[in-house]
Amino acid sequence: MIGFLGTGRMGLPMVANLVRAGHEVVAHDLRPELEATVVACGARWAGSAAESAAAADVLITMLPGPPEVVEAMTGAGGALPALPAGATWIDMTSNAAASAEPIRVQALARGIDVLEAPVGGGVPAAEDGSLKLFVGGEAEVLERHRSVLEAVGDPQRIVHVGGPGAGYTAKLLVNLLWFGQAVATAEALLIGQRAGIDLGVLRSAVADSAAATDFVRRDLDALFAGDYLTSFGLDRCCEELANVTAQAREYGLPVELSELVTRIHQRALARFGPVDGELLAVALLEHEAGTELR
């Protein structure tokens, strides 16, 4: 039986895919109004995190960020004390290694195996079961639970990155690079636009050059349509950037560019508030330039 915590935009389709793969799923979310949609996809509803975990062989957490994982696992009515010895906790949240480590240590002390498998791909990939998984933890535990992971992710994109913490870090680095590409691309486009270059022509030129990226080839379609990708909160973007730059500082590494990208997103958060929009840092640059990239 699989316990599942977090049935939001990403979690709910993942629950549905687990059910379709033949798993019995007992799910919980802090929003009781989601019960009907959870039941409609074939899962059972649990009234608390502890109830979801109590009979689970595997507990999956798919939550907004590190604070929510700490609360769901170790807070009042949390899942960890209820999870049976011999079970496995798989955290699929875009978490921070430093935040998850104390929970991992407590779980191992109780005879509970732990994997991290933060996901990439967004809501469409969650719906069709083609998520990319950045797995950190013991290889043997991964292999034992591969069928569960393949119910929500593309089997060819389940990557064992390394030991504990490696999966979380890899996912944060992917996001760091994507956010940085978004800012750098927007700045280049704004310069080109001001210089009188047609944006479509400039996009095509860049896409067929050494500067081409998936952001240029794929994600600019949304930006040019005025879509700032509202599937993820700007406050969460800032949280992830702050986590990865803090990790770099702990290592004593120079990360001036990463810190600049973080500050631009924090300025966007101050301007727009904690609303949904992964590309709102670009909206900030447009606002400051007095134009839009359309």
**Could you tell me which residues come within 8 angstroms of residue 231 by beta carbon, excluding any fewer than 6 positions away?**
9, 122, 123, 276, 278
Count the Cβ atoms, other than its own, within 10 Å of residue 83: 27
Q: List residues bridging with 44 in a β-sheet.
A: 26
The length of the chain, given as a count of residues: 294
Tell me how far apart the alpha carbons of residues 28 and 38 are, in angstroms, rounded to a whole number.
9
Catalytic residue numbers read 171
Tell me how far apart the alpha carbons of residues 210 and 198 are, in angstroms, rounded to a whole number.
20
**Could you tell me which residues come within 8 angstroms of residue 98 by beta carbon, excluding any fewer than 6 positions away?**
243, 246, 247
Q: What is the DSSP code (8-state) at residue 43?
A: P
Nearest CA-CA partner of 41 in 58, 18, 16, 20:
16
